[in-house]
Amino acid sequence: MMLVLSSAFFHASWSALLKRHEDPESAVVGVITITVMCGGLWALGLQGAAFPTSGALMWGLMAGVLESGYLVTLAKSLSRAPLGLAYTVSRGGAVLLVWPVSVLWLNEQLTPGSVAGATLVAVGMAGMNLVLPRGREKDGVLWSLASAACIAGYNLSYKRALGEGAQPPALFTLSLGVALPLLVLMRRREETSWGALLQKIRTRPLLLVAAGVLCTLSFSLMLVALTGSGTGAVITLRNTSIVFALALGALQNERMGRRQLAGAGLVVIGAVLLGWPRK
């Protein structure tokens, strides 16, 4: 549990740092570059086969593709909506997508508590968006929903790769290594030149390094936790990071209404119920 909670804190922290950047959509390229470098260092002491089966390698590559989609949609949502709102919708939405798949495909246990938890998550997300945001904030929520689908996908891919015997350091480095060039190419399409993109990436280098280190800690701890726990349990307990995101958003002078705060609270309670250890 402590591994997942630590991962949750680090995840909210690096997302909050990304939100502080003037151009999150470009900054995420720099953050993931740092993360890939850190992953390479982590994999240096690897012993034995990194991917003992073709299935492990295939799921690792799939995780990388979905990671790139997640990073793009995350940056777009953070550039358009408040941290607390974007984060809650993306993480809560991922919960609703992961649990049915985990039960049907990965044989995770379905209990009254997990059903109640999923219900609370759904009600909380609906409550946060009873009045659909307008303009850029509306776009931010829609990008957050797309991010939720990618989060669910890469977590399930990670679990399958680990189940096939992939080693966490190698899996981490491969998936982010695949995501980085895809991320660069997608971002380059929206810039006038490579020089313009590089100029934006080099802005605020200390923030990018700090976010990259926190991102590495977040994903590496999650992968270690996934080796011994169910996907649904890990992703839902990790979504207690919503609390950290709301607190960090408040420190950045973001304010959410009572309805949205109540909805976020229901999402957190539902996530805890879903991730609570079962006997």
Token representation of residue 123: 């009600």
- Regarding pTM above 0.85, the answer is no
CB atoms within 10 A of CB 14: 23
Pick from 37, 91, 65, 55: nearest CA to 212: 37
Which one, of 185, 206, 233, 266, lies nearest residue 4 by Cα?
233
In 3D space, the residue among 106, 108, 131, 105 whose CA is nearest the CA of residue 118 turns out to be: 108
Per-residue pLDDT of the chain (279 residues; tens, 9 = 90+): 677 778 888 988 898 898 888 888 889 999 999 999 999 998 887 788 889 999 999 999 999 999 999 989 988 998 888 877 787 788 778 877 877 776 676 666 667 776 777 777 767 766 665 555 667 788 888 899 999 999 889 888 988 898 899 998 999 999 999 999 999 988 888 887 888 888 888 888 999 999 999 999 988 888 887 776 655 566 666 666 667 776 777 767 766 677 767 777 777 777 667 666 555
Predicted local confidence at residue 68, as pLDDT: 92
CA dist., res. 15 & res. 50, Å (int): 29
Q: CA 36, CA 89: separation in Å to the nearest integer?
A: 27
- 200's CB contacts (< 8 A; 6+ apart) are 23, 26, 27, 191
CB 235 within 8 A of CB 94: yes
Contact between 223 and 162 under an 8 Å Cβ cutoff? The reply is yes
Contact 271, 95 (CB under 8 A): yes
Tokens, residue 177:
């290594």
Place of tokens 């080099």: 202
Residues 6+ apart with CB under 8 A from 251: none
- Residue 92's CB is within 10 A of a number of other CB atoms, namely 27
- Which DSSP letter does residue 116 get? H
Helix (H, G, I), strand (E, B) or coil at 143: helix
pLDDT of residue 210: 95
Q: Quick check: 98 and 153 in contact, CB under 8 A?
A: no
